[in-house]
Amino acid sequence: MEAAYDRLKKSRILIEEEGIRAMSFAYIKEKKYYRLGQFLRDVGLGRKNVGNLLWNLLLLSYAANFKMKSLQREFLEMVEAGFAPDLTTFNIRALAFSRMSLFWDLHLSLEHMQHVKVVADLVTYGCVVDAYLDRRLGKNLDFALKKMNMDDSPLVSTDHFVFEVLGKGDFHSSSEAFLESKRNEGEITWDMCSSRYYLEGGTYWDMVEMDKLTMSCWRLK
């Protein structure tokens, strides 16, 4: 595949989104994240038509190994270069912050999302829930969820290449499976989703904490 890319370069033909994704997936599959970064820079991070894709993949190459300083540096470079972070951009960072229990960074990222009017999806909510429950901080979860729009439907709008690298969080996976199994059964509430997750998923915390989350749950229409 690299040989094919070299031929494109020699013929001065720009590689387009499909080719970028194919090359990137090949590097991701082999966990060659440094090579992925080199490839993306060679393609040109300034390309407006595929800019967010290139930047998101670059951020992912750092998030894969939790190189947090590099992840933050490149995010700032992306913004300074004139590219607007999208949902995938924010969720790459949120997943990394969640796994590393960087709560302050996670909260700042959520506030940034609100400021630029990027709507959270199930991945974003899952990052928050998993971060708090992994550290047995369920009593503080209500405070975190208040910063988010609880009226949105829990859809997954994040680019799926993110999951090839970082996988899906526990809450995301559990909720996704539950929603799929109940999609033909009418109205579903997040208190059903969360109750199933806590009772069947082996997460143990007191009922006061559970009630706090239930009170914060939004509804699926």
88-147 pLDDT per residue, tens: 999 999 999 999 999 999 999 999 999 999 988 889 988 988 998 888 876 777 767 776
**Same-domain check for residues 67 and 137:** no
Percent of the chain scoring above 90 in pLDDT? 50
User: What pLDDT is attached to residue 204?
Assistant: 37
Q: How confident is the model at residue 170 (pLDDT cuts 50, 70, 90)?
A: confident
**Same-domain check for residues 125 and 207:** yes
**96, 63 contact by CB (below 8 A):** yes
* pTM of the predicted protein model: 0.82
More confident residue, 26 or 197: 26
Residues 6+ apart with CB under 8 A from 160: none
Q: How confident is the model at residue 177 (pLDDT cuts 50, 70, 90)?
A: confident
Position 92 in a domain: no
H helix runs in the chain, sequence order: 2-10, 17-29, 33-43, 51-63, 68-80, 87-99, 103-115, 122-134, 141-145, 161-166, 170-181, 190-200, 207-216
User: What pLDDT is attached to residue 184?
Assistant: 64
| Domain, as residue range, for 108 | 103-221
Q: How confident is the model at residue 197 (pLDDT cuts 50, 70, 90)?
A: low
User: What pLDDT is attached to residue 207?
Assistant: 39
Residue where a domain stops, chosen among 56, 84, 112: 84
Position 96 in a domain: no
- Of 23-32, 50-59, 120-129, 169-178, minimum mean pLDDT range: 169-178
**First and final C-alpha spacing in the chain:** 45
Which of 34, 32, 31, 26 has the alpha carbon at shortest distance from 1?
26
User: What pLDDT is attached to residue 4?
Assistant: 72
The tally of domains found in the chain comes to: 2
Position 93 in a domain: no
Q: How far is the CA of 161 from the CAs of 29, 56, 157, 164, in angstroms?
A: 10, 10, 12, 5
User: What pLDDT is attached to residue 174?
Assistant: 78
Residues 6+ apart with CB under 8 A from 142: 212, 213, 215, 216
**Same-domain check for residues 107 and 50:** no
- How many beta carbons lie within 10 A of that of residue 50, not counting itself? 19
Q: What angle do CA 17, 38, 116 make, to 5 degrees?
A: 60
User: What pLDDT is attached to residue 56?
Assistant: 98
User: What pLDDT is attached to residue 3?
Assistant: 72
User: What pLDDT is attached to residue 115?
Assistant: 94
What is the Cα–Cα distance from 31 to 89, expressed in whole angstroms? Answer: 20
**Same-domain check for residues 140 and 179:** yes
- Of 12-26, 33-47, 86-100, 177-191, minimum mean pLDDT range: 177-191
- Of 4-13, 19-28, 183-192, 206-215, minimum mean pLDDT range: 206-215
Q: Which two tokens stand for residue 48?
A: 């407006």
Which of 84, 68, 62 has the alpha carbon at shortest distance from 166?
62
Mean pLDDT of the chain: 81
User: What pLDDT is attached to residue 7?
Assistant: 73
Position 98 in a domain: no
Q: How far is the CA of 83 from the CAs of 43, 65, 66, 75, 76, in angstroms?
A: 16, 24, 23, 10, 10
Q: How far is the CA of 11 from the CAs of 7, 8, 40, in angstroms?
A: 6, 5, 18
Which of 171, 166, 167, 88 has the alpha carbon at shortest distance from 129?
171
What is the Cα–Cα distance from 161 to 33, expressed in whole angstroms? Answer: 13
**Same-domain check for residues 71 and 9:** yes
